[in-house]
Amino acid sequence: MQAVRAFALLVSRDERRLCVFFSAGATRYALDAVRVLEVARANEEGALQLSQHLPVRDLSLLLGGDAEVRVAAGVVMDVSPTLALRVKQVDGVFDCTGLKRWPVQGRLVPLLAPALAGALEYEGRLVFELDADGAARGLPRQLKPIERHHRTDTTGLVFTVQGERLALPLHHVVQVIEANACFNRAPNAGSFLGVAVHRAQLCPVFTVGPLGLVQPFIVLFEVGGDLLGLSASQVEGVRSGSSLVGASVLDVGRMFS
């Protein structure tokens, strides 16, 4: 991997919007190339081979997550003071002109801002748009679980979370999707796990199970006009009457009001 030092000049001569794509932890990122001063390799011990001495931070730790297990590269951001980030891997430089983009807004602002400015869809994958200045300030680690509220209901969509049988009232349920490329894990995943795209909407995904644990399915639901998601291990389907016995029906209207 070659050091990259001419991004600003390259972009100034080109109408394309170039971004450096990389990953840290289980999260995918894109950073505007004009904010990248250098891309460097890491040695076998995870130390960055930089062209100058700079302060170095583990991006996953900086954004409220766990330390990177295997560092393969570093990205030097054009911020004040200049900061080098340890990351898992750098995927390359790609043209983001015309890509679908969703800004961080609404319920996502207190969860992701100012470190993340939005999300992009690139080749079917959801990628967070890193804000260089905001990322340098970091994100807090999530430590609090969601407070549960329950209700009685005769019918609901039943799903499990780590073996626990739960249900959502049908009038809240939108759809069930898989947590695949349309989902991107938040760097500081706790009770808030990350975001998913559905029907051209960006929605926050939460868990009522173990903090930070992303499971295979996402149950999408609406509260107050907002599209939200809950992580699920398995989805049984719609149950009513005696088949609903033993499932705790979540009052998501209160939980996410």
Enclosing H/E stretch for 77: strand 73-77
Read off the pLDDT of residues 174-195 as tens digits, 9 standing for 90 and up: 999 999 999 999 999 999 999 9
Read off the pLDDT of residues 199-212 as tens digits, 9 standing for 90 and up: 888 999 999 999 99
Structure tokens at 209: 């199970």
Distance CA 152, CA 77 (A): 52
Statement: residue 112 has pLDDT above 60 = yes
Burial class (CB in 10 A: 0-12, 13-18, 19+), 1: middle
Tell me the pTM.
0.91
Q: Domain spans of the chain?
A: 7-137, 155-255
Query: Within 13 Å, how many C-alpha atoms sit on residue 236's CB side?
Result: 19
CATH 2.40.50 for domain 155-255, yes or no, is yes
pLDDT confidence tier of residue 16, bands split at 50, 70 and 90: confident
